[in-house]
Chain A
Amino acid sequence: MNDVQSDTAELVYTRIFEAPRELVFRCMIEPEHLSHFWGPVGMSTPLHSITVDARPGGAFETVMVNDADGSQYPTRAVFVEVVEPERLVWNELGSGVTTTSTFRDLGDSRTEVRIHQRNVPEAFRSPQAQAGFTSSLDRFASYLRQLRTDAGQPGAAEADPS
């Protein structure tokens, strides 16, 4: 049962966009576009804080600013691979996270974007990425969160199953 061997713990996020691949790709490397979506909810990414030098060895730098209190979250990364309009790979300095974005043309002006993240540069770079496994670390996280919430009160979880 446990013979599925995989040394990877990649996190994968996939989304299909109703737009042609070239446009979606451009959105990921042009500051004017990035400033519209790079910051998650409650965060902005001011245009002047974005540096994109889309070629291997080039810089990819952003600063996310918390809309509520102005606190700043700078991220510095370096492009490892730029294959327009198919693939972007960058390496985050500091955390060592490697992010691979793959842009797949689905036809009819639809594009699938896959974000692969490898958390630990060496240990996680094993090639045996298994389709069925890729999101399970993510599911595992939710599962454990649930368990932890259930067991939140000391002693309560074991004594009282309700």
Chain B
Amino acid sequence: MSVTEDQLDATFTALADPTRRAMVARLARADATVNELAAPFDLSLPAISKHLKVLERCGLISRTRQAQFRPCHLEREALDSALDWIEQNRRIWAQRFDKLDEHLRDLQRPTSRPTSQEQPTGQEHPTSRQQPPPEKECPP
């Protein structure tokens, strides 16, 4: 099963609800019946059933048709694509912020000499200056 963007959207919608997140967390440990999933919540069985249908529709969980108690099973691939997205996104912003922080420091660094000397030598593109300036290492 490949996870499409629509499925990812549906997964996020399903995970937007705290009750459903708790259910998914429970199922991440082991399969569970509807009654087991309902136990921690002060909700009616129809309400629980509604939540399960949302989770089922987006492919996060599946239920065995034959078994009498129809245990719910977490479909990890659907969950993983959502988790991947969240974590990748968090990482990107954290690293962007780190770089922005450094960039802002560079911009505001008191200039002890004329800024024109800060220009890179030669005629290369100044696009990927990843190296911090060496004077950063100087003792105070």
State the A residues within 8 Å of B (CB): 1-2, 4, 6-9, 11, 13, 15, 17-19, 23-24, 27, 33, 35-41, 44, 46-48, 67, 94-96, 113, 115, 117, 119-120, 123-124, 133, 136-138, 140-145, 147-148, 151, 157-158
Contact = CB atoms under 8 A, between A and B. Distances in A.
A100 B24 CA distance: 28
Contacts of B87: 141-142, 145
Sorting the interface of chain B by its residue count into under 10, 10 to 19, 20 to 34 or 35 or more gives 35 or more
B9 A123 contact: yes
27 contacts: A2-B42, A9-B15, A11-B89, A13-B90, A18-B105, A19-B104, A27-B104, A33-B103, A36-B100, A37-B96, A44-B130, A67-B128, A96-B9, A119-B12, A119-B85, A120-B9, A123-B12, A136-B18, A137-B86, A138-B86, A141-B86, A141-B90, A144-B25, A145-B87, A148-B28, A151-B29, A157-B29
B83 A40 contact: no
B19 interface: yes
Interface in B16-44: 16-19, 21-22, 24-25, 28-30, 41-43
B19 A15 contact: no
A122 B13 CA distance: 10
B120 to A, nearest CB: 13
B123 interface: no
Given A96-B9, A140-B15, A144-B24, 7 more contacts: A13-B93, A18-B101, A37-B102, A47-B125, A120-B12, A144-B79, A151-B28
A145 B130 CA distance: 32
Contacts of B137: none
Given A27-B104, A47-B127, A144 B9 contact: no
Interface string B107-139: 110000000000000000111111000000000
B69 interface: no
A17 B102 CA distance: 10
